[in-house]
Structure 1
Amino acid sequence: MTSSDFPPPPFADAHSPRDEAPQFVLPLVLHLEKTAPPARTDALETAARAVLALLSDPRAEGEGPWAEAVRDWQDARIRKVVRRARGAEWRRAEALDGLTLSGGSAEVRVYPPIPLDGWPKDLAKLQVSGTELSDAEPPAAPAPGTPVVWLNPEVDMSAGKTMAQAGHAVQLAWWELDGERRAAWAEAGFPLAVRTADKERWRELVAAGLPVVHDAGFTEVVPGSATAVADLRQLGR
């Protein structure tokens, strides 16, 4: 469930000066018990909110204890990796410095960025691949005024990959917001929805100039694939 790596737009699938910088990764861990797996949409939305919560946390800003790692991560490729944990694994994961976000049936913990080869042992041994989630019922239409991450209906991705893509999309959108809109969204608890667009809506979203995630193709999808669009046009209105 490793996310691909991409720079802020414009997307560049060729070698970039960003590749010369030390490479970091943002770890996310999904709480996944065998007997009570979360709904897929809950996991996607909670992962996206977790990324936003970390970016807006005072510890990630200014001279905060996470700020240097966040800057180093954003100066290089913006990598995210989603792993899963249950039972004692989850309890050990929760003991590490980070934030846990809950949404519906899902819990996701996000951590400050770490070097690619610097995984804490309690996270390094967690499984990355093989997790599939489903929704008992198709998710309802997003409530009016809700920011939405729209997924490409023609790109098939695992649950973990999609969680990372949703996080990428809201991060791109976050960079485009002014301070007032960021503060208002954070104060509201980052309400958002993640849905799969139909083909016509997807074409309209991509043409609208909204933040689009283009995947570098290191896992699961063809390099350059457009995977997700963040539509925040209703935010703050």
Structure 2
Amino acid sequence: METPPEDLIQQIVLFVDREDPATEPEGIAAAALASVGAFTAHPAADEWRGWAAGSFAKVVRRADAGTFAKVRAAHPDHALATSGAGQAIAFVPGPSGHVPKKIAKLQVSGTELPRTGDAPWPGRAPESGPGLVVVLNDSLGMSTGKAAAQAAHALFAWVLEAAPARVDGWLRAGRPLSVRRLPAAGFRRAVQGEGAGPLIHDAGRTEIAPGSATACVVAPIRCAD
């Protein structure tokens, strides 16, 4: 019996080192890249069709070094992504009521990474080229875990809706991605720019009000010298 789309959830596990954690932009980027990496690694899996027809439900959990290694070993079908010091793994969506025990035990709420290394907007990416930027609405006060889930929503929506040639070029270039939190006014300007991807609105299950505009993929912009 096919699982209803609303009951399918993609599990993402973010590596949070207790001694030397990655910066928040690195961790969020890794989580978003892992989410898409699970799709590109197994694009024919039936679960993607039903999941994509729903609300793209995701859960971002955290694991320290030892637990992260154990989960990877126990579930070799994962997709691993890195961004600087950030690391995350993700899986094909599965029923919300049948999460593997090693993954279900991992904490969801309270995931935070240090907000250092977050370059001011605009980012230092070239005006042309395959790089992408996920912008996050910082006025919502999202935790690192919540922001990572929203960034993953935004990147996945962009992959599904962008021109195939643009997506292929980004994949061939090594999936360059950066993450920026922006204040409300800056976020509104960024998402209204030419080439911006689908604007993500949260369902409101955790942390923020339903319908809140949270994240979007935008084209990189050169910093003024």
TM-score normalised by L of structure 1: 0.81
Partner of 2:68: 90
Once the two structures are superposed, the pairs formed by residues 46-125 of structure 1 within 5 Å of their partners are: 46-57=30-41, 59-61=42-44, 67-95=45-73, 96=75, 97-125=77-105
Per-residue deviation, 1:233: 7.5
Residues 82, 23 of structure 1: alpha-carbon distance in 2 compared, 3 angstrom cutoff: same
8 Å Cα contact 2:154/2:197 also seen in 1: no
Mapped to 2, the partners of 1:117 and 1:189 lie a distance apart of: 34
Partner of 1:40: 24
Q: Aligned match of 1:29 in 13, 16, 22?
A: 13
Q: Secondary structure at the match of 1:76?
A: coil
Q: Aligned match of 1:143 in 125, 131, 136?
A: 125
Partner of 1:3: none
Partner of 2:180: 195
Residues 132, 144 of structure 1: alpha-carbon distance in 2 compared, 3 angstrom cutoff: same
Mapped to 1, the partners of 2:102 and 2:155 lie a distance apart of: 27
Q: Aligned match of 1:214 in 201, 204, 220?
A: 201
8 Å Cα contact 1:52/1:190 also seen in 2: no
Per-residue deviation, 1:184: 1.1
Partner of 1:129: 109
Mapped to 2, the partners of 1:199 and 1:75 lie a distance apart of: 29
TM-score normalised by L of structure 2: 0.85
Counting aligned pairs with the same residue, the percent is 34
Mapped to 1, the partners of 2:59 and 2:162 lie a distance apart of: 25
Mapped to 2, the partners of 1:192 and 1:47 lie a distance apart of: 11
Per-residue deviation, 1:106: 1.0
1:226 aligned onto 2:213: yes
Residues 230, 121 of structure 1: alpha-carbon distance in 2 compared, 3 angstrom cutoff: same
Letter in 2 for 1:104: G
- List runs of 5+ in structure 2 lacking aligned partners: none
Per-residue deviation, 1:51: 1.9
Residues 41, 233 of structure 1: alpha-carbon distance in 2 compared, 3 angstrom cutoff: closer
Per-residue deviation, 1:52: 2.1
Per-residue deviation, 1:190: 1.0
1:166 aligned onto 2:151: yes
Q: Secondary structure at the match of 1:101?
A: strand
Q: How many residues align?
A: 210
CA shift digits 1:108-150 (9 cap, x unpaired): 0111111000100110111111221113344252312431111
